[in-house]
Structure 1
Amino acid sequence: MHVSGINNTGTINAHNFNSTVITGNHNNQNPQEPNQPGASSINPTEIRTLREKVTNKLRRLKLAGASNPHEEFCRPKITAFCSETTNPDILADKLYEAGTLSKQDVNRVKSNSVRYDKNDALYDLVVSKRALFNLLEALKTSGNENILKLIEELADS
């Protein structure tokens, strides 16, 4: 048997010639698939740090004359947000639970049959409501941590 490494959920992958076996993880919990609800590699401290970075970037955009800094913040990566968000229905529900979206907003998102269109409606609502901070936690808890990485890139630029 050859152990190839431990992934970000703590799962050890062991290879034996023609097969891959998941043998367990470091905290005796069931392994989570990436981008599934509950599978989070971002801890609360990282969310706070990201929130501070986003706050600073929004402040700089406002000082530069942006009428809607949230829109200007998202613009460079909005296509990636829409194409790479994997759980828009769950994300919409999380934003509803946080009080960011109304039930009508959630229905607007979920009424689209194509995932990209769901995401487009979702991010349009978040930007128009200037709710990027609520989005951060919702991305984490909906299994869309990959978008947090994109947001961090934008905040650092």
Structure 2
Amino acid sequence: MSIKGILDYYYKQIIKECKEKNIKTIDKNIKKYFKTYNFEIKDYTTINGIPIPLIDTEVDIEKYKDFIFNLPQNIYNDYKTEIKGVILFIDEFQIIKELENYLESFLWNFRGYISNQRNVGYIISGSMSLQDKLISEISSNEGTFGNRMISII
């Protein structure tokens, strides 16, 4: 499991739901490509004496994360006359434990983005035991969300 894999899945599901609700996303697809990739000229070739650059691209995880985590708010902003808000249901959230060293920074990054969003709500679900360390890392007084989450067990 990688952060890119989680972000890819998150993006695909948001776009899929938008399409089902007739919310146009072609602009989001184009923006995603140009806002989340680093471009560089890998080489040049010549066609009929005209030099043509060969472009290489690579996903910039920080830009990608920024784009994906802001996407629900941007969708709301673009369609606020048609929708009242965006609710994201994230099931099997415990899978983020597989991120290992990135887990803590992922949670803090996630909190940083969603705490500034308006008209966007998140429901986080998963199968964990009451003693699972992830629960305290997320919702305890010392956790990422500092006891600002409603926990239903």
- Please report the TM-score for the alignment, with normalisation by the length of structure 2: 0.28
When Rg is computed on C-alpha atoms for both structures, the one with the higher figure is 2
Higher relative contact order (CA 8 A, sep 6+): 1
Q: Whose strand proportion is higher, 1 or 2? A: 2
- Please report the TM-score for the alignment, with normalisation by the length of structure 1: 0.27
